[in-house]
Each structure stands twice: as C-alpha cells, then as structure tokens.
Amino acid sequence: MKTQQHVIVISYDAFSKDNWDSACQQPNMARLLENGTYTTEMKSVYPTLTYVIHSSYVTGMYPNKHGVYHNNPLQPFVPEQDQDWHWFRSDIKKPTIYEAVRDQGMTVAGILWPVTGKANIQYNIPEIKAVKNENQALKILKSGSKLFTIGMELKYGKYRKGIEQPYLDDFITRCAVDTIKNKKPNLLLMHLIDLDDTKHALGTKGPHIEQVIERMDKRIGNLMEAVEEAGILQQTTFIIVGDHGQLDVQYKVHLNRLLQEQGLIYEENGKMQWRAYIQGAGGAAYLHVKPGDEQALQQALAILHEVKQQEEYGIEDIYGRAELARFHVDPAFPYMIEAKPGYAFEDSLTEPVVLDLHARGETYATHGYSPEKPDYTSVFVASGRGIKPQAPMGNIEVIDLAPTIGQLLNVPFTNCDGRALTEIIADE
C-alpha cells in the first residue's frame, strides 16, 4: 500500500517581497527553510485581488478562463459593506485541484479558503460573510460541511470575535491544527488574513507589521507541531503563498462622480441608473458600459483621457484590449484603469472625487494594482516531503500552485495555464 502524502497550503494574505527580510528570520520560517526553498518573485494576476488570485491558485488558470474577475460581482450603487462577494464554488468556471484530489479518493480540508461555498470538500469552513439581514452562522452552515463546521465552532468559537484580528486567524489556526491531528487530510487549504487586514488599516510599514509577522510565525509553528503530533511529518509538504503585495494610499479617487456630472450616471423615477459605471478594484478599476451604448463608451473614455492628464486623479494608464489580453483579462472588459502608487479607485458617489486621507489623519493601504508594478511580487515557500532544499526557482506565477500540488500528490492536473515547479520537486 502506497504511503499517504499530505500537502498543507497556507495562503498568507498580502505576504509580499517587502516582508521577507523580517519573516525569514523568524524561528519557524527558518526551520521550514532548512528543508525547503523560496522565492520573493512570485507574479500575481490582474487585478491583484484576493478572490481573483485564489481562483487562479486552485485552477491553475488566468482570470479570463476561470471567470472570477473581482472580489465582488458588479453591484452598482450598493454600499461596499452590503455587497455580495464571489463566495461560491459555482462562480469558478473551471475544474479545481481540490476536486481532482478528491477524484483520486483522497481527502481535502478547506478552512476560510475563498470561493469555496458549497464546494466538494469533505471538511469545509468556507470564507463567507453575512450581508444585509443574513444570519452568519446559518450562511456558513448552508455553504460548508455542517458537522465539521459545528464541531469546530463548539470547540474554538470562543476564541473568535467576529472577524476581528488577531482572533480570527487564531481561530482558523486552531481549526487547522485540530483538522491535521484528527482528519489528516491529503490536502489542506487555509487562508490567514491578519497581515492583509493590518496593512489595509495601518499601512505597509511600522511596528504593527513586525507584530503580525511574529504572530504569523507562531501560527506556522503551531501547524508544524500538529503535523509532528499527527505522525505525518515525513509525508507532509508545507507550501506558504502570499497572494499580492499592498501599496500605501494617500488619495481615494471616485471616478463615478465625474461620470455622474456628465449624465452617464443619473436618477430616474427615484432610482439610480447608469450607462457607464466604474467598478473600483483598489489599484485598478473596470469600466463597465451598457451593451451596445457606443456613445456612452466614447463619452466615458473622453472623460478618463482628459483627467488622466491631471495629476490629482492618479490615473497611471487606461488599458485597452491589447494590454488586457496580455494580462489575461476576460474579453468582456474592453477597458481598465490603472492607478498610480499612492492612489486607489472606489465606487462611491457620496465622497469627494479625490479624497485626501492624510488630511483626515487616516492611514490606508490596498492592492489590485498591476502585477508588473515595481517590487510588487509575493512570496512562495515550499518545504518538507518532495522538496529539494535550497533549490533555485525559475519565473513563477500564482497559476503554478495547482499543478505543483498535483505533482506532489501524484494527481494529474495539467490542463491549465500554470506549470508544476519541477525544479524544486525531488525525484522519489
């Protein structure tokens, strides 16, 4: 009988190149590196948003194929806190590595992994949030593995305070430790958000970042101990991936205000309507135009090209289809807008066109920018079974994760855009 193999994937949200010098000196990361390898040059997809990237992680495909183009489906005029996200597996149009693993008779666990609501995962607590009048507990139960979710909540729910950090990531880690010890899944996918939340709120530099990196290393240590206690250390590969970087922001830009001034967004019979609408994605934005309305398209483009010449609006570029095809953006989107560093795009019609956060005494950072922004790459660490220590890596992208998991678990997964990182996988 073949020995069972195990892969634990820790999505360390917003773990980017600029965090590496600190993270690699932490004791547990250093232990992983003794039997592993890493790069700080992993390239992401466009726009660099968490749900877009995690869909690329598990499909090995670019967004133009897997179909998740933003964290949120388009919901004009709905406040951000009330918007639905791409919570559900059905939003991904392509096969996933976790389904391929299950098809081979192996077990999968997902703990707060994005876009896994109602997914075919044996032990699943999906990342999903109640909006409007929904009940949070009921929504998770309906969308995940009921008995598993109830069991984890009864054991560890007392350690959580809603989605507040660091309590949420501590809860996720406790659930993962329990799952490793008691279920020994062949594939564990988990998503830790402490660093991303902290950067968004307090900026990308400062003592608060060092504190998160220390907390994260302790969580990594807890997972390593769980693997040892489960007796599967020699059969386990750890993979740690950062999905995107973040950039500090001084100005939030609300370009829809300009479309509204020119009549492309308007009120009719007490309801807001639109002919053109800009869906902010942090460091990028999508231009949506009602199908067939060529006049609205040309009017919106004229507005954008005019304000691009003015520094205060923070437009670095307006990408057409040629550039977007190179970024593997869905052909449904003819134009996107890229922000300059220090600027971010949001949808709101109630804020000023350009909001100076520093003048309000606020700090903020975000992502979504082009993966080709300078020094905007992420970290990839692999350690343990099947990994060549200190093996150099070629150019890698987030789409390479799924086929690499497939190779490590001996699960066929080659019909995708990414490649298995064979340069770091040892011959067995």
Q: 98-108 pLDDT, tens per residue? A: 999 999 999 99
141 pLDDT higher than 90: no
394 pLDDT higher than 90: no
Averaged pLDDT for residues 86-93: 98
> Does a structural domain hold residue 13?
yes
Threshold 0.85, pTM exceeds: yes
Are 312 and 323 part of one and the same domain?
yes
Going by pLDDT thresholds of 50, 70 and 90, the confidence category of residue 2 is low
Domain span holding position 282: 248-366
State both tokens at 373.
């922004």
Q: What is the DSSP string of 26-65?
A: SHHHHHHHHTEEEEEEEB--SS--HHHHHHHHHH---HHH
Averaged pLDDT for residues 280-308: 98
> Does a structural domain hold residue 1?
no
Could you tell me where the beta strands, DSSP code E, fall in 69-223? Answer: 108-111, 123-125, 187-192
Are 253 and 238 part of one and the same domain?
no
Are 319 and 385 part of one and the same domain?
no
Q: What is the pLDDT of residue 130?
A: 82
> Does a structural domain hold residue 323?
yes
> Does a structural domain hold residue 309?
yes
Are 223 and 131 part of one and the same domain?
yes
Residue 396 in contact with residue 402, Cβ under 8 Å? no
Are 267 and 237 part of one and the same domain?
no
Looking at per-residue confidence, does 1 or 419 come out higher? 419
Q: Tokens 């060549």 belong to which residue?
A: 388
Are 394 and 414 part of one and the same domain?
yes
Q: 349-368 pLDDT, tens per residue? A: 999 999 999 999 999 999 99
**Distance in Å from the first CA to the final CA of the chain:** 16
Are 185 and 131 part of one and the same domain?
yes
Residue 103 in contact with residue 125, Cβ under 8 Å? no
Least confident piece of the model among 57-66, 79-88, 132-141: 132-141
State both tokens at 60.
């090995």
Are 283 and 219 part of one and the same domain?
no
Are 40 and 68 part of one and the same domain?
yes
Q: Count CB-CB contacts under 10 A for residue 137.
A: 12
Averaged pLDDT for residues 17-40: 98
Going by pLDDT thresholds of 50, 70 and 90, the confidence category of residue 1 is very low
Are 286 and 226 part of one and the same domain?
no
For 391-417, letters b (16+ CB in 10 Å) and e give: bebeebbbbbbbbbbbbbbebebeebb
Are 240 and 257 part of one and the same domain?
no
Q: How many domains does the chain have?
A: 2
Are 238 and 254 part of one and the same domain?
no
